[in-house]
Amino acid sequence: MSAPLPTLLFDLDGTLSDNYEGISRSIRFALERVGAPMPEAATLRACVGPPLRESLARLIPDPAPALVEEALEAYRERFRDVGWRENVVYEDVPAALAALAASGARMFVCTTKPEVFATRIVAHFGFDAFFAGVYGPDLAGALDDKRTLLAHLLAREGLDAARAIMIGDRHLDVRAAKANRTRAVGVLWGYGSAVELEGAERLLARPAELATLLD
């Protein structure tokens, strides 16, 4: 009898789609609203992946909690209207997801993007046909830490951590996998480097390689 297929847990930004334009433009909008200086592009790229509340606190010179929350609300004001659509799917991702789904693998999205936005984006791209669920933090920040989020997903779905693979482009994904004793696969087309993804059992160079996760 063949072994059961692993459960695949996918990051969203930098793994399935590239939402840099929407994220960076919404961050600039938020910083302008609170009178903070505009960061360089490299700094904005580093904001793709980590929880946004943490990123804004680093970008605001005097990050009083109330000011960070004001910036966060401004970000969401723009993002909920237009930013979430400033987003492109990486080439070959749809075909890879379709192949994995056809193989019978159970798949979930596990992202630090608020669940309300992540669910909208997954449906927008038609990925909801492939995923059994989308998990992310709420707007108040519960489950912002990806280690906690992944633990919540595993418990809620009754998954065997040893039979699950976390797939993502940032060190947060590898760290969450290690904390929860799942396997970790890193992807190199997003926003993390091979150095950042040290500790992953495998690195994928191209989105088409996602289809080999069950090999």
Encoded tokens for 170: 């940032």
Q: Which candidate in 11, 13, 18, 173 is catalytic?
A: 11
* Phi, psi of 89, rounded to the nearest 5 degrees: -80, 135
- As a whole number of Å, the end-to-end CA separation of the chain is 17
Contacts of 60 (CB under 8 A, 6+ apart): 31, 34, 36, 67, 68, 71
Written as one letter, the residue type at 6 is P
Question: What is the rounded CA–CA span in Å between residue 200 and residue 174?
Answer: 6
Query: Residue 63 burial by CB count (10 A; 0-12/13-18/19+): exposed, middle or buried?
Result: middle
Confirm whether 169 is a catalytic residue: no
Residues assigned a catalytic role? 11
